[in-house]
Chain A
Amino acid sequence: MSILKVLLAEDDPDIQKVVRMSLKMKGVKEVVVTDNGEECLARLSDFAPDVILLDVMMPKLDGYGTCRKLKENPATREIPVIFLTAKAQHYEVKQGMDVGALGYLIKPFDPMTLYDQISELLANRNKGT
């Protein structure tokens, strides 16, 4: 399945640009960028992404809290969430997976393979693995 629409929650403007460019390069049509978890949740009222990429450390509402809210809401529960974060400790990864994320990608990521990594996680989910 090709990924066409991505919602990104990331507070670092430079990383926002790198993620947007790396996904656009691989054919993603629309990358909607938000600065924090609250904005990300609000944006879902008029945007239906194929996947949500979440940073962890963000103002207002962090990534873990955002994911928890997404999974609590029946309207957003099924949207796959992948963390894209510099929080690389073992317990941080576990915390991310415990709140219902599909995957956990650690910064710095390779912009040339980011799309493929997301795609693989989505494909595994669809296969039920």
Chain B
Amino acid sequence: MKEKLPLDILNSLTSGVIAVDAENRVVFVNRAMARRLNVQPTDWEGRHAAELLGQITTHMAAAQDEMTFRLGWAREPKAKLSQEIEWRTGSETLHLREDSAPLRDAAGNVAGRLFLYHDISREKSIDRMKSEFIAVASHELRTPMTSIKGSVDLILSGFAGEITADSQELLEIAQKSCDRLVRLINDILDLAKIEAGQVKLHLVPMDLTDIVEHAIRGVRSLADQGEVVLHVERADGLPHVDVDKDRIEQVVTNLLSNAIKFAPAKSIVTVDLRAEEGWVQCSVIDRGVGIAEADLPKVFGKFQQVGAKKKGGTGLGLAITQALIAEHHGRIWVESQLGQGTSFIFRLPALPK
């Protein structure tokens, strides 16, 4: 099998490569990996892979479990596996991504496995810096906002004495702007966290209908204010989806709030739930003014104001929505016709019944 590998190419790679045969014996270590392991490329040929892979997990907690997982391909030889590992060599800690995939012989049978090691230490370091920035920015912005919002709210409550009608009007403007700024800070930080991959989803199998109904309860008063009727259409036998309930409710709430804001009074906003070829699809449909075709590609952008009238959002809601759907391995898109209305449609992978 070794002869069949394009050795020059593999030895030119800066990423590490290890190939093992069906009995988990090492058949090849490329130059980059040998340098990292401080061995000669041929030193390991014929030895058991667990010994070599074990070196890369030295000092790792639960190294034995890791090994079982990594060599578990023998039970599922076609599986492609990917994981991040920490490799401590002396005082240095490297962050590596280990990808492994089956190696096949001429007849297409699985004859071994190829392990690729990419150094992602720099990406990890940038991620850490991003996290630190998010934490510091969050704290530093929230602290002065607390004093401003607190003071304005207290004055408006009358606690500090009577105020004139003009003062009240001006303070209410300040209060509204404070609240908007707080929402903006929250949205910016939320989006930054999602984009930095720092949001951990707590996935549970659920019927999307339950989430939609909960979201509808949350926006009911907004709909009543705008005299908009909310209506749910649900196909029978809807499969479950693996979702973080709070995050998908955030998505549905955002789409519903937008639809309500742009829907004319006395009109209907419909939520349509159906199964579509391996997906569960949710459409939020309004009969509002619609979005011009030229503006459609912009709607999921940050701080994009599509349409003539400002409707009081932070300009980040749809960007967050799109990022959350992507985190769930789903898809979201928009369909609209001017004067007819707009549909925001998202799909999540359906779980087998």
Do A89 and B134 touch (CB < 8 A)?
Answer: yes
A89 to B150, CA, bound (A): 21
Do B157 and A112 touch (CB < 8 A)?
Answer: yes
A12 to B151, CA, bound (A): 14
B146 an interface residue at 8 Å Cβ cutoff? Answer: yes
A14 to B138, CA, bound (A): 18
Given A22-B154, A57-B139, A86-B138; A108-B159 close (CB under 8 Å): no
Q: Which of A12, A21, A107 has the most CB of B within 10 A?
A: A107
Do A108 and B146 touch (CB < 8 A)?
Answer: yes
Dominant secondary structure of chain A at its interface with chain B: loop
Dominant secondary structure of chain B at its interface with chain A: helix
Do A86 and B150 touch (CB < 8 A)?
Answer: no
* Bitwise interface map of B from 119 to 162 toward A, beta carbon under 8 Å scored 1, else 0: 00000000000000011001110110111111101100101100
Please give me the residue from chain A that is nearest to B157 by CB atom: A112
Chain B neighbourhood of A44, CB < 8 A: none
The number of residues on chain B lying at the interface, defined by a beta carbon within 8 Å of a beta carbon of chain A, is 23
Please give me the residue from chain B that is nearest to A92 by CB atom: B135
Do B138 and A88 touch (CB < 8 A)?
Answer: yes
Do A18 and B146 touch (CB < 8 A)?
Answer: yes
A33 to B138, CA, bound (A): 24
Do A21 and B147 touch (CB < 8 A)?
Answer: no
* Bitwise interface map of B from 175 to 212 toward A, beta carbon under 8 Å scored 1, else 0: 00010001000000100000000001000000000000
A14 to B140, CA, bound (A): 14
Shortest C-beta distance, B174 to chain A (Å), equals 13
Do B146 and A109 touch (CB < 8 A)?
Answer: yes
* Bitwise interface map of A from 106 to 129 toward B, beta carbon under 8 Å scored 1, else 0: 111111100000000000000000
Chain A neighbourhood of B149, CB < 8 A: 108, 110-111
Chain B neighbourhood of A48, CB < 8 A: none
Q: What are 17 sample pairs from A and B whose C-beta atoms fall under 8 A apart? A: A14-B147, A15-B143, A15-B150, A18-B146, A25-B159, A86-B138, A86-B143, A88-B189, A106-B142, A107-B143, A108-B142, A108-B148, A108-B149, A108-B150, A109-B150, A111-B150, A111-B154
